[in-house]
Amino acid sequence: MPVPSRKGSGHISNTEGVDLAFTDPLTGLGNLRRFFDKIDRLIEERADDPAPFTVGILDLDGFTPINDLFGRRSGDNILQQVAMRLSASMDQHSTVTRVGADEFAFLYPMVFSEEAARERALMLIEILSAPYDVGDRTARLSASVGCSMYYSGEEDTETLVSKAETALYHAKQSGRGKVMVYTREMEEAAKRVTRIEQALRRAVAAGEVEPFFQPIVDLSTRQVVGFEALARWNDRDLGMVPPDVFIPIAEERGIIGQLSQLLLRQATEAACNWPDELFLSFNLSPSQLVDQNTARHILDILQRTGFDARRLEIEITETGLMTDPDSAEKIVGELRAVGIRVALDDFGTGQSSLGRLREFHFDKLKIDRAFVSSILEDKPSEHIIRAILAMCEGLGMDVVAEGIEEEEQAARLLQFGCAGGQGYMFGKPVNAAATMRYLRDHYRADLPADGASSSA
């Protein structure tokens, strides 16, 4: 596809005498260097009279699955179409550049207010939502946008772009097709994330994050068959930090590997004191399925703690698989080769469940709590669960239903043929010592006291 011509859009032609180092070769738009250069120049121009202007970053939502579906060449073609649409939407004062694989940035020198910035960004999202031609097929995209406003000469280019990235993060957290303009509240939230990150790094180094264990039962006998390890963190300054807060931060800030290794070591040390027939279920994060050292780290920990690999079950999600399917398949293969079982967690909440079941061999599937919670009053949920159970029977996979809180839910699941269950009805997550007490009360009275070493 020929590179589109643009006026005032950040396009760099040879006639302008600008180095090609400022040009994105795929789209012909300016690149990140061009974007920074444009902002630098505008700040200099307004040094004496700092009139406001707008900086924005636009991220295509769900572009990776489209790239996988249509192929990289078609993906490049779509990016070129995106570039043309964005370029055509710019006025003579404005600039659009490509700053990442599926990220574009824009500079609006004449947009002076947050309301106007939001309106212009929503217009860009609407422009990009129209179908894209990919051969004889069409594709659709949405986008998220984060904006920041320049108000005073105290702000520099890097600060403005960083604020726009923070706003983009909040936009994507809110769902697809959203626009966020940077606010002081976002700044406070970003500072809180940094505080949590710093405290988490210290806590991981000191071994202060610990596994809690939730029982998994045989629904027909109500006997415990294993436990899922769940991360819990009670910080001396921050108090109890929920896992849905600190786990994403650990993932984003590169702490998840160290955190996971700490938790697995603690969990397997505790599980060594359980009866041999009970298994331990442990979650891997998406980034661990891209790290080719993951399997080695797990096996090293098992060797050090003496925990039998055949008693370990690794839970992974569809999101983790989709990040890098080839890498995930290799890691899963290395784990299964030594007897570790692999379960697909949160089934039904991802984007390509059936395809993943065909491509990967799983030992177990966990039905997401969203279906279980509504099984008694929602017919579609009941039919979905029945279909999942029938499919797993055909594939020879075990099934566990998560989030069981009522006896009627457990009875209905058992009636449909679900063998395993997990949820508050059978026990809330508790620490290692409380887990041993639970086992003595619900499983076998002769177990050692509160995690003391057993002869086994």
What is the structure's pLDDT at 269? 98
Residue 170 CA to residue 186 CA, distance in Å, equals: 8
Q: Is 238 helix (H, G, I), strand (E, B) or coil?
A: coil
Angstrom distance (rounded) from CA 371 to CA 390: 16
Query: Could you please report the per-residue DSSP string of 256-280?
Result: HHHHHHHHHHHHHHHHTTS-TT-EE
**CB 296: neighbour CB atoms within 10 A?**
12
Q: Where are the alpha helices (DSSP H) in 289-352?
A: 294-305, 318-323, 325-337
In angstroms, the first-to-last Cα distance of the chain is 68
DSSP 240-257: EEPHHHHHHHHHHTT-HH
Name the residue among 115, 114, 121 with its Cα closest to residue 56. 121
What's the token pair of residue 410? Answer: 């457990």
Equal fold, 14-182 vs 192-451:
no
List the CATH code of the domain at 192-451. 3.20.20.450
User: Closest Cα partner for 365 from 328, 323, 401, 335?
Assistant: 401
Q: Are 12 and 23 spatial neighbours (Cβ–Cβ below 8 Å)?
A: yes
| Angstrom distance (rounded) from CA 312 to CA 303 | 13
Report pLDDT digits (tens) over 164-183. 999 998 999 888 899 999 98
**Cβ atoms within 10 A of the Cβ of 44, count?**
10
| Residue among 77, 83, 118 nearest 104 (CA) | 83
Q: Using the 8-state DSSP alphabet, how is residue 189 labeled? A: H
pLDDT on residue 15 = 41
**Residue 318: per-residue pLDDT:** 80
The Cα–Cα gap between 31 and 96 comes to 9
The pLDDT of residue 13 is: 42
DSSP label at 301? H
CB atoms within 10 A of CB 379: 9
DSSP state of 289: G
Task: Assess contact for 264 and 301: CB atoms under 8 A.
Answer: yes
Q: Find the length of the chain.
A: 456
* Alpha carbons 65 and 417: distance in angstroms, whole number: 34
- CATH node for 14-182: 3.30.70.270
Report residue 413 as tokens. Answer: 């699941």
CA-CA distance, 366 to 344, in Å (whole number)? 6
Starting from the edge strand earliest in sequence, which strands make up the sheet with 179-181, in order?
Answer: 95-98, 103-108, 53-61, 142-150, 179-181
Alpha helices in 143-291 (DSSP H): 157-173, 184-206, 243-252, 256-271
Domain edges within the chain:
14-182, 192-451
115, 210, 402, 405: which is the annotated catalytic residue? 402
Closest by CA to 343, choosing from 184, 452, 225, 178, is 225
CA angle 284, 315, 347 (to 5 degrees): 120
The residue ranges of the chain whose pLDDT is under 50 are 1-17, 352, 453-456
Distance CA 221, CA 96 (A): 63
pTM as predicted: 0.73
Question: How high is the pLDDT of residue 50?
Answer: 82
Q: Clarify whether 402 is annotated catalytic.
A: yes
Tally Cβ neighbours within 10 Å of residue 452.
Answer: 10
pLDDT confidence of residue 357? 72
Nearest-angstrom CA–CA distance, 295 and 126 = 44
